[in-house]
Amino acid sequence: MGFCEGELVVCTAGREKDRLMYVTAYDGKYVYLADGKERSLDNPKRKNPQHLRKTDKHISAEAAKTDRALRKALSGEVLTYGKTGHD
């Protein structure tokens, strides 16, 4: 299962469980995630891909240029993600 930058994933284990996160990088073994608040783009969380669930949502690199912009984009996605009925 591969990941690419810009994808949104949901954490299924750990402190971030059930949180929507932005994929900043994937090195084949770990996925690096940011949310713009607790995990900034400069200090992403390293996560095992087995502990993530893919979504069909993406955020462009332009929309995630800064932590502030990423938070804004994620807050909008949380609202639309919740309305679609996905868990």
The model carries a pTM of 0.84
Q: Which residue has the higher pLDDT, 40 or 83?
A: 40
Q: Are 22 and 35 in contact (CB under 8 A)?
A: yes
Extract the tokens encoding 15.
Answer: 């402190």
Tell me the CB-side half-sphere exposure of residue 33, using CA atoms within 13 A. Answer: 27
CA distance to 6, 17, 31, 79, per residue, from 67 (Å): 14, 20, 18, 18
- Please write the tens of the pLDDT for every residue from 2-44: 899 999 999 999 998 999 999 999 998 999 999 999 999 999 9
- Taking residue 72's Cβ as centre, other Cβ atoms within 10 Å add up to 14
Mean pLDDT of the chain: 87
Would you state the pLDDT for residue 75? 86
